[in-house]
A and B are shown apart, each in its own frame.
Chain A
């Protein structure tokens, strides 16, 4: 039986990489990711994990080392946050093109400026379109499980794409929770050793990363797009298998009290637990509200979303990032466009909250829902609304 222990969630992320028997970790410290890599270097130093820990001089090099490592056939892990993720940006696009199944944990944090070490989703939303599978955890157990799941999916011969597992910086990464930590041997029943399809090997020379002339570039990128879209069935299959082994069930989209709901609140990440409290409160007051949470963000689970909101009249979508000068937060605009033309009566309203560590309370969720209902009655609302912003 796996043991359940009280553990800081960051350490659980490291323990997952350890249980997955990662071969190589390359990382550069940045708050709030630091505890993850500190613990991994400890695990390596203590001989609990037989891996190379490459203490690089920047995140750009961290991800570059990971690409080289994965191309050489090693199971490869890294973690970062915010500025570090932004510094990786260039290479994030290249990793899927080279079919390197790297697993990266992102402890989500605001982007500068002003510099802020606190949580929001501006770092990951800026990397939304890089061609990685992206999942979001709500709690510590999910962080552990999603990391194991990430290796399983990334290394699947049908996929071979890198994956980012997102967890909220501080509000999730730094809290202690009871977590069931699977041992390496328990994990090995689910996650088989990595069998790379193409490796850098002098016995079988390959050319990786050649020049793409206009005659081939489109097809090369289309391949990534098709693989990423196609990966959803592997993502789901791997969760089903996970559930068979360990009893915990995961789906691309999570719903809470959506039955008979007129209004649905849409969230991502660890604030969902606060949102659930808010939903309970509102239900008590007779507001027919439910909750939808994205666990899988890329590939975007469009069918699951549609199913989850069938029959609903109003959606209040919360974002943790601004899309500057755009049409509203990324989650809001994607949800709205996914449902466009589908459901005659459905109205979708966007709210941005919790930037740079600003608290998101149950009361704030209630406000969002009430506003969305009001706007729906009027038949129009603002482009989107930034919650709790002080004018002076």
Chain B
């Protein structure tokens, strides 16, 4: 079914990037924010014909201080945990209104967007419900690995060892002591047609995935790596550098899950050591060699598991 929807799919190239912007300049994100960058790219790829339902979080706050708005497309914010449910309502409403001929028949991409907290923690139930019900929408998780809007508290997507204001390192603590929740796998477990991870360092890849997600009928889930200089304690000009390193160290692998089949979209043949990634960020500064080694091993193991899944799909 995937192939049919993507029959006319044309990849973006650096020369064919659309000029359209869904979010205007002058929003209030921190300097060098990687989250708004990832969001901007994804929405550019989807195009004007969309409606966005946003969760509470950094992106909502920085784009909508009344009477100003950065939004050039229809946008609604209701609460923190329900972006997927609000998007479900919009999608279902438009479906019936088109059927009853009260609005013109036209395919509009319904986008739900939320941070890692709004997705993996408080919004997981609403997300699961919406994916399971099969609404035709694109869910974008902007993963900056903590609750940034409220001041850098840990989430279930915060990586092992990271310092946040609620996972502080101390005599009895190494910082975050749990491993990052695998939300794309949870999304994929719903048997939806399209799941992908993407990074703003690989912007054409990100935009192509966003475009595919919008073209496909049914639920699509995008998990976007979103560096946050403020929360990760890195210099404002390093968001892209760190995004690239996350991929090259295998910390944040890029892949798609198309109709349940895993496809690695960037194979890492000669990985860089995880340490190179960690050392650029203040949130990992306190980690000792032993912990870094522990993280390295976990990253290797998880990447191998992913490679095996992709190989399995290829062999089919």
Which residues of A are at the interface with B, using a C-beta cutoff of 8 A? 23-24, 26, 50-52, 54-58, 60-61, 64-74, 76, 90-91, 94, 98, 193, 200-202, 204-213, 216, 220
B224 at the interface (CB under 8 A from A): no
Question: B75 contacts A23, CB within 8 Å?
Answer: no
Question: A64 contacts B86, CB within 8 Å?
Answer: yes
Question: B76 contacts A200, CB within 8 Å?
Answer: yes
Q: Which 9 A-B pairs have the closest CB atoms?
A: A68-B89, A57-B129, A64-B85, A74-B93, A65-B89, A210-B64, A209-B77, A64-B82, A72-B93
Question: B85 contacts A202, CB within 8 Å?
Answer: no
Question: A68 contacts B129, CB within 8 Å?
Answer: no
Question: B93 contacts A52, CB within 8 Å?
Answer: yes
Complex contacts, B65 vs chain A, CB 8 Å: 210-211, 213
Contacts beyond the supplied A52-B92, A91-B78: 6 A-B pairs with Cβ under 8 Å: A23-B93, A54-B88, A65-B86, A72-B93, A202-B73, A207-B64
Partner of B96, one of A74, A193, A208, A210: A74
B244 at the interface (CB under 8 A from A): no
With A68-B78, A90-B79, A210-B64 in contact, is A60–B97 under 8 Å at CB? no
Question: B78 contacts A202, CB within 8 Å?
Answer: no
What's the Cα separation between A293 and B65 when bound, in Å?
44
With A64-B126, A68-B89 in contact, is A211–B82 under 8 Å at CB? no
Complex contacts, B93 vs chain A, CB 8 Å: 23-24, 52, 68-70, 72-74, 76
Question: B89 contacts A69, CB within 8 Å?
Answer: yes
With A57-B125, A202-B73, A211-B60 in contact, is A72–B50 under 8 Å at CB? no
Which residues of B are at the interface with A, using a C-beta cutoff of 8 A? 48-51, 53, 60-61, 64-67, 69, 71-79, 81-82, 85-90, 92-97, 99-100, 102-103, 108, 125-126, 128-130, 132-133
Complex contacts, A213 vs chain B, CB 8 Å: 65-66
Task: Considering the complex, give the chain B residue whose CB is closest to the CB of A208.
Answer: B76
Question: B74 contacts A202, CB within 8 Å?
Answer: yes
Question: B94 contacts A72, CB within 8 Å?
Answer: yes
Subset of 28 A-B contacts with CB under 8 Å: A23-B100, A24-B92, A50-B100, A51-B96, A52-B92, A56-B88, A58-B129, A61-B130, A64-B126, A65-B92, A67-B78, A68-B85, A69-B93, A70-B93, A72-B94, A76-B93, A91-B78, A200-B76, A201-B51, A204-B74, A205-B72, A205-B75, A206-B74, A207-B64, A207-B74, A207-B75, A210-B66, A213-B66
The minimal Cβ–Cβ distance linking A291 to chain B, given in whole angstroms, is 41
With A210-B69, A216-B66 in contact, is A72–B75 under 8 Å at CB? no
With A58-B129, A202-B74 in contact, is A74–B97 under 8 Å at CB? yes
Question: A58 contacts B86, CB within 8 Å?
Answer: no
Partner of A60, one of B88, B99, B126: B126
Question: B64 contacts A65, CB within 8 Å?
Answer: no
The minimal Cβ–Cβ distance linking B232 to chain A, given in whole angstroms, is 24
Question: A200 contacts B74, CB within 8 Å?
Answer: yes
The minimal Cβ–Cβ distance linking A90 to chain B, given in whole angstroms, is 6
Greatest chain B CB density within 10 A among A58, A209, A213 is at A209
Complex contacts, A24 vs chain B, CB 8 Å: 89, 92-93, 96
Question: B89 contacts A54, CB within 8 Å?
Answer: yes
Complex contacts, A205 vs chain B, CB 8 Å: 71-75
Complex contacts, B125 vs chain A, CB 8 Å: 57-58, 60-61
Complex contacts, A69 vs chain B, CB 8 Å: 89-90, 92-93
Complex contacts, B71 vs chain A, CB 8 Å: 205, 207
Question: A60 contacts B72, CB within 8 Å?
Answer: no
What's the Cα separation between A193 and B49 when bound, in Å?
26
Complex contacts, A210 vs chain B, CB 8 Å: 64-66, 69, 77
Question: B85 contacts A60, CB within 8 Å?
Answer: yes
Question: B90 contacts A211, CB within 8 Å?
Answer: no
